[in-house]
Amino acid sequence: MRAPAPGSADGAPAGLGAPAGLGAPAGLGGPIELDDAVEQYAAGAVLLDPRGARLLRLSPAGQEAVRRLGTVAAGSAGEGALRRRLLAAGLAHPRPGVPPPELGQKVCVLVPVRDRPEALARCLDAVARAGPKGLEVVVVDDGSLEPARTAAVAAAAGARLVRRSESGGPAVARNTGLAGLERPLVALLDSDCRPAPGWLERLAGHLDDPSVVAVAPRVREVLDGGSVRARYGASRSPLDLGPHPAEVTPGGRVSYVPSAALLLRREALEVGFDPGLRYGEDVDLVWRLLAGGGRVRYAPEAHVEHDGPGSWAGLLGRRFRYGTSAGPLARRHGSALAPLRLAPGTAAGVLGALSGWPGLAAGSLAVATVRLVRRVGPAGVPARRAARLALAGTAGGAEAAGRAGWMLFAPLLVTAARPRSSPEGARRRVAVGTPGARRVAAVALTVGPPLLEWRRRRPPVDPVRYGAACLADDLAYGVGVWWGALTSGTVDPLLPRLSRSSPRRSPAWRR
């Protein structure tokens, strides 16, 4: 089984012990549960993750350990190691307990803001209503033009105000606020966010595991009005990482979590945010926490609302700005910023289709199917199921390649898709090795991904307008990636990578 290695095989990284009084370690000795997508074969001796066609074979002791996942304590060190492996691979998720009543006295909520007093007032009111009681709230005014209004809002909410005379950006503002904090837990919250009741209780339970240094809620964009932009933004927010819990791993199903709402151990934040990053500072922080041996979880059972941009220009401008972070992040993290990772067979099929040889695509699918059947068949997985998994994997790879191609190389796809006026070319549109076949492939790779996405998500927008918005959205991000790469002097955010695992998107894509 190919699975991301857990950050710490033996427990907590040095200096990151669990805050006193938070309970028994969930995910180590505490209860966990298998992911809903996991399939079991051979009477429970084989676990299959269909999302990546990954297998885990279990010994009799391992099978017994899986049956005990819902119990309070692991029975042995080996059982604890298996639980950590399941968690890291996304095959299982913690079922954290209820934090103690005094949780609020262990948490400081840190809110950076600049010139948004109305949004700040709504944020602080939501924090007070969401609880728990006893929270310390610190507002960092990052050089507001009307500081008196920000100060008045903070004072009315009973928050402590830290004032910066000049704006340094989100990373600098958060670092300024962190400097004087003493409570063991810090909840980062942007001023345009509003947490739902119980958000901290649901997040804090994950920190019972001493190896977990940070946990993030689901951040959902508020549907502001009935416009197409509002409906699109609410269904495809770059901060919304979806409804499924996950262990955060670079290149994994959840590769980063945004700092718009994030609960962390204060000791872990000694590394601080990189003040040189205006955007992408949260991706950088999370990856450095993981590199230091900590673990980070995404817990969508906790909800936070977020105000989205008020116009199409604002939405596309935000996507461009996010894209510019790819270059600076690549300078720090190298190939982790690759826009796409494809298995060699899938890559060959996509290139074959774009070259006018659809037979190569069909051949790569056939080879992938045979290889997968041979690999999982002896484990008890039916050949028909293996064939469906191979088809889904190839389709997913082609979809990811199409989206990356449009995002970063749209002119090439448009040129390949442009019809020619030659009657002979029209008659040979789909012949093997002809320009017609290349056009079909280019059109499919361009319009296919947004339409498939619409089919999965069923957003409250018709497929034509949703698809057009997706293409504009991704193109704006791609232009930002190019700008960030050129100004940073690196091509890493532009180069796909070959991988034996299932297709992955860059963590910085922010969906």
CATH of the domain at 117: 3.90.550.10
Written as six digits, the tokens of 403 are 């989206």
Please check whether residue 292 lies inside any domain of the structure.
yes
Q: Assess whether 193 and 237 both reside in one domain.
A: yes
Q: What is the pLDDT of residue 265?
A: 96
Q: Are residues 110 and 171 in the same domain?
A: yes
Q: List C-alpha distances in Å: 395 to 56, 77, 349, 355, 368.
A: 24, 40, 10, 18, 12
Question: What is the structure's pLDDT at 215?
Answer: 97
Angstrom CA distances, 381 to 56, 364, 372, 386, stand at 12, 21, 10, 7
My answer on whether 111 and 237 are in the same domain is yes
- Tell me the CA end-to-end span of the chain in Å, nearest whole number: 27
Cis omega (within 30 of 0) on the bond before 147?
Answer: no
| Same domain for 152 and 57 | no
Same domain, 158 and 90: no
pLDDT at residue 290, as a whole number:
94
The pLDDT value recorded for residue 396 is: 86
Q: Which of 28, 33, 37 has its CA nearest to residue 10?
A: 28
List the alpha helices (DSSP H) in 278-357: 281-291, 312-324, 326-333, 344-354
Site of tokens 């507002």: 139
Domain range for 205 is 101-308
Residues 6+ apart with CB under 8 A from 132: 101, 103, 104, 107, 200, 201
Q: Which of 94, 120, 143 is the last residue of a domain?
A: 94
Q: Tell me, what's the pLDDT at 74?
A: 61
Q: Based on the fold, state whether residues 166 and 265 are members of the same structural domain.
A: yes
Angle at the Cα of 96 from the Cα atoms of 17 and 89, rounded to 5 degrees: 80
Domain assignment present for residue 17? The answer is no
Taking the alpha carbons of 407, 479, 256, 260 in that order, is the dihedral positive or negative? Answer: negative
pLDDT tens digit at each of 511 positions of the chain: 333 322 322 222 223 333 433 444 444 556 888 998 999 988 888 999 888 778 888 888 888 888 888 776 666 777 778 888 888 888 899 888 778 889 999 999 999 999 999 999 999 999 999 989 999 999 999 999 999 999 999 999 999 999 999 999 999 999 999 998 999 999 999 999 999 999 999 999 999 888 899 999 999 998 777 789 999 999 999 999 999 999 998 888 899 999 999 999 999 998 899 999 999 999 999 999 999 999 999 999 999 999 988 899 999 999 999 999 999 999 999 888 888 888 887 787 777 777 767 777 778 778 878 888 888 888 888 888 888 888 888 888 888 889 999 999 988 878 777 766 555 544 444 444 566 777 888 888 899 999 999 999 999 999 999 999 999 999 999 999 999 999 999 999 999 888 765 444 444 444 4
Answer for the pair 275, 179: CB distance below 8 angstroms, yes or no: no
Q: Which pLDDT belongs to residue 84?
A: 83
Question: Can you give the pLDDT at residue 431?
Answer: 44
Domain co-membership, 404 together with 445 = yes
The sign of the dihedral angle between the CA atoms of 238, 110, 293, 303 is negative
The total number of structural domains in the chain stands at: 3
86, 125: one domain: no
Q: 194 and 269 in one domain?
A: yes
For residue 246, the cross-strand partners are 298
255 and 125 assigned to the same domain: yes
Residue closest to 494 by CA, chosen among 509, 503, 502: 509
Same structural domain, 89 and 115? no
Question: SS3 sequence, 151-199?
Answer: HHHHHHCCCEEEEECCCCCHHHHHHHHHCCCCCCEEEEECCCEEECCCH
Tokens 């310390």 map to which residue? 136
Backbone angles phi, psi at 7, to 5 degrees: -65, -35
Query: Could you tell me if 137 and 175 lie in one domain?
Result: yes
Residue 372's pLDDT is what?
A: 82
pLDDT at 438: 75
pTM for the structure as a whole: 0.86
Single out the residue in 308, 329, 363 at which a domain terminates. Answer: 308
